[in-house]
């Protein structure tokens, strides 16, 4: 995705997830697309350090990162996970799966706080004190997030999709 379209998606998702509505499964797919886009942008930033940093993008992401993640996590934890737990045909280990996902959200939010500070610094034009450490931090974050999304997709999207198709459990909240 091109940079302007990626930033537009991040902004639009920030608005959407501040008060999510509609079909939760569609919203989850939007959450995953948004987070994967965010990962790609963070990867580009990591690749651009130290010489070719797009300061404006760093500043925008520094501002968006934590509130957007918190809103997406709240949506998943308050709306989606309870539905997964109640879905017919739920795997016996779903509770362990959801515990793991919640724990990863917690870890990601802690990490995102540090990352937002680093992005803010990059956005102000200050050369990173330790470019390697900043790059390492960025990579650690987006790699963990990609793994989380793959796991969530594998364990939840299929389950909720099957449940919606069977029509045994309403997924529409509104």
Cβ closest to Fe ion, residue 58 vs residue 64: 64
Residues in 123-152 that interact with Fe ion by CB under 5 A: 152
Give least dist CB 66 to Fe ion, A.
15
Cβ closest to Fe ion, residue 119 vs residue 149: 149
Give least dist CB 73 to Fe ion, A.
6
Give least dist CB 76 to Fe ion, A.
5
Give least dist CB 89 to Fe ion, A.
21
First to last CA, the chain: 31
| 153-1-72 Cα angle (round to 5) | 40
Q: What's the rounded Cα separation, in Å, for the pair 18 and 28?
A: 14
| 77: number of Cβ within 10 Å | 14
Residues in 68-87 that interact with Fe ion by CB under 5 A: 76
Cβ closest to Fe ion, residue 132 vs residue 154: 154
Q: What's the rounded Cα separation, in Å, for the pair 174 and 172?
A: 6
Residue 65: which of 23, 7, 104 has the closest Cα? 7
Cβ closest to Fe ion, residue 71 vs residue 152: 152
Which residues bind to Fe ion, rule: CB under 5 A?
Answer: 76, 152
């Amino acid at each position: 995705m091109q940079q302007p379209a990626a930033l537009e998606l991040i902004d639009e998702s920030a608005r959407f997830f501040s008060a999510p509505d509609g079909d939760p499964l569609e919203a989850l797919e939007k959450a995953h697309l948004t987070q994967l886009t965010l990962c790609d942008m963070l990867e580009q930033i990591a690749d651009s350090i130290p010489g070719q940093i797009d300061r404006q993008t760093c500043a925008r992401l520094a501002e968006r990162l934590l509130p957007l993640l918190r809103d997406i996590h709240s949506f998943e934890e308050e709306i989606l996970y309870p539905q997964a737990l109640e879905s017919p045909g739920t795997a016996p280990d779903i509770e362990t799966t959801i515990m793991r996902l919640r724990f990863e959200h917690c870890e990601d939010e802690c990490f995102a706080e540090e990352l937002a500070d680093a992005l803010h610094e990059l956005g102000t034009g200050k050369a990173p004190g330790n470019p390697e450490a900043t790059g390492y931090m960025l990579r650690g974050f987006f790699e963990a997030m990609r793994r989380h999304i793959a796991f969530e997709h594998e364990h939840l999207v299929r389950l909720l999709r099957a449940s919606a198709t069977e029509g045994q459990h309403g997924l529409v909240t509104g």
